[in-house]
Amino acid sequence: MDAIVLVGGEGTRLRPLTYDIPKQMLPIVDRSMIEHVVGWLARHGIDRVVLSVGYRPDAFVEAFPEGELCGVRLAYAVEPEPLDTAGAVAFAAESASVRDTFLVLNGDVLTDFDLGSLLEFHRDRGGAATIGLTPVADPSSFGVVPTDSESRVTAFIEKPAPGTAPTNLINAGCYVLEPSVLELVPTGRRVSIERETFPALAEHGVLYALSSDAYWIDTGTPEKFVRASLDVLHGLRTAASLPSVPESARGAFVDPSALVLGRVGPATFVGRGALIAEGSEIADSVVSEDAVVEAGARISGSVVMAGARIGARAVLESSIVGPGADVGPSCNVSGFSVLGARCNLEAGSTLVAARFPSE
Ligand code: GDD
Ligand code: MG
């Protein structure tokens, strides 16, 4: 079966990181987000993934030049301009010749949703499309999906005003579609599956939905992006998401080639060739390959990407440091700050909930 994975968004909420790296190429613990997604699809027997790319397609092609990932064949559908979600699906289906029942996934969602039961449910109901649903505390920043007693979708309300949603079950960003749905998507302009296609299918009574309590997160904001890694390390996901290095202490995963002289606490990943100097402390964090954490630095609730340096006595709390970035000695970075690739933060600087460099 084919799956179309939407990876064309610009990742605006993760800027300036996403100026260099598309969101789905950013690391979640030890591998890119797209590898987590394709791995999950592979475990459900999907044999071809069509990546619907617009923004920075070169980053994906360079990373996976063999056209294969996790044992799954990869095809690329590169949009000449962003066509929005339904436009992107129709374009990808056409350019990769998708002919049978297929899956569509939002590429920035990480989940352990059981796709086997979603497919079975879809076949059982016989609708044109079936949406996977997940419960959330605040549905206002998602697609809200009320259903009737037969699981038929009665309306699709994208991003309702706070306090107005009729249910807390939201579109989990995974769908089963029949090719007939594509006939509803006009060509030559942007078309949103959430604002046009699903409401039309709901009106015709041919749209169904199945909810699941399986692990689910949309990684679009800095806070959720960090959380996605910590959830893996806290064991909230299936074992397949865990890093492949041995667990040295409970929840601490340290690559054997890393040199650790400081203290590495629980729920921490230290990648290949990283150096953790004496007197430093790391907890609830990811320190990727070849990163350097100098003496006396303290890191918690953060993601430090490949080759970055955290200077002596710097404090990094709930923040993201891009690949190759240099955080000078005695800096204080907190509040879900995002530091771009290869930036230099001068010694002694303080950043709270900031973007650096700023736009
Ligand atoms: N190829 C392509 N072209 N992909 C796109 C485009 C486009 O023009 N626009 C968005 N995407 C991709 C994004 O990369 C992302 O993977 C996915 O489509 C969804 O876009 P987001 O921008 O992340 O949307 P959202 O998070 O605000 O809302 C969507 O996801 C929620 C679940 O996380 C909606 O589908 C909601 O209904 C849903 O609840
Ligand atoms: Mg999203």
Q: How far is the CA of 172 from the centre of ligand 2 (A)?
A: 10
317 contacts: CB under 8 Å, gap ≥ 6: 299, 300, 301, 302, 333, 334, 335
Report the distance separating Cα 34 and Cα 66, nearest Å.
15
pLDDT tens column, 37-74: 999 999 999 999 999 998 778 888 889 988 899 999 99
Of 88, 2, 10, 92, give the one whose Cα is nearest residue 49: 2
What residues are neighbours of ligand 2 (ion), with CB under 5 Å?
108, 218, 220
pLDDT of residue 77: 94
Residue type at 161 in one-letter notation: A
8 CB under 6 A from ligand 1?
yes
Residue whose CA lies nearest to ligand 1 atom number 35: 173
The number of the ligand nearest the C-alpha atom of 88 reads 1
**Domain range 246-356, its CATH number among 3.30.70.20, 3.30.1330.10, 2.160.10.10, 1.10.40.30:** 2.160.10.10
Pairing of strands 252-254, 247-249: antiparallel
Report the distance separating Cα 343 and Cα 12, nearest Å.
18
pLDDT tens column, 292-343: 999 999 999 999 999 999 999 999 999 999 999 999 999 999 999 999 999 9
pLDDT of residue 359: 67
Output the CA torsion 349→353→14→81 (10° steps).
-100
Q: How far is the CA of 158 from the centre of ligand 2 (A)?
A: 12
Domain boundaries, the chain: 2-222, 246-356
pLDDT tens column, 198-217: 999 999 999 999 999 999 99
Report the distance separating Cα 339 and Cα 186, nearest Å.
40
Residue whose CA lies nearest to ligand 1 atom number 14: 9
pLDDT tens column, 242-287: 898 988 777 799 999 999 999 998 899 999 999 999 999 999 999 9
- The total of other beta-carbon atoms located within 10 Å of residue 124's CB is 12
34 CB under 6 A from ligand 1?
no
Residue whose CA lies nearest to ligand 1 atom number 37: 143
**Domain range 2-222, its CATH number among 3.30.470.20, 3.90.550.10, 3.40.50.11540, 3.20.20.70:** 3.90.550.10
Domains 2-222 and 246-356 share a fold: no
pLDDT tens column, 58-68: 888 889 988 89
Question: Which atom of ligand 1 is nearest the CA belonging to 5?
Answer: 16
Q: Give me the mean pLDDT over the 175-195 stretch.
A: 96
Q: How far is the CA of 85 from the centre of ligand 1 (A)?
A: 7
The distance in angstroms from the start CA to the end CA of the chain is 42
Contact 106, 6 (CB under 8 A): yes
193 CB under 6 A from ligand 1?
no
Helix, strand, or coil here: 264?
Answer: strand
